[in-house]
Amino acid sequence: MISAAPIFTIHAELAPMLHFGRTPYGERRVIGILGGSVRGPKLNGRVLPGGADWQIVRGDGAADIQARYTIESEVGARILVPRFRSS
C-alpha cells in the first residue's frame, strides 16, 4: 500500500517580493529564500539561504513557478531542490 503522508514539512523565511514588471508572457517576480527549517519523519535539517522562487503570473491569474533552493540535512548532506510548477 502506498502512503500519501508527507515525509517532511518546510518552513521558509522569505524576502520581500521583487516585481520586474509585465512582459508578453505575464508579470515577472522573484521571491528570495532567506533560510528555514525542514522537519519530518524522513528528513530533518535546514533550508540554506540563497534560493528563490522565480514566477510569471499570466493574464488569467495562473502562475508558472520555478523554485530552486538547498536543504542541508541534520547529518550535513546537501540536497538541491529544483521545483517547477504551473497552477
- Give the model's pLDDT for residue 86: 63
CATH says 9-86 is which class?
Answer: mainly beta
Round to whole Å and give the CA distance between 67 and 83: 5
Question: What is the SS3 string spanning 12-70?
Answer: EEECCCEEEEEECCEEEEEEEEEEEEEECCCCCEEECCCEEEEEEECCCCCEEEEEEEE
Whether the model pTM is above 0.85? no
Cell numbers at residue 23, please? Answer: 512582459
- Give the model's pLDDT for residue 51: 95
pLDDT above 70: percentage of residues in the chain: 95
Task: Dump pLDDT digits (tens) for 7-42.
Answer: 999 999 999 999 999 999 999 999 999 999 999 999
Task: Dump pLDDT digits (tens) for 39-54.
Answer: 999 999 999 999 999 9
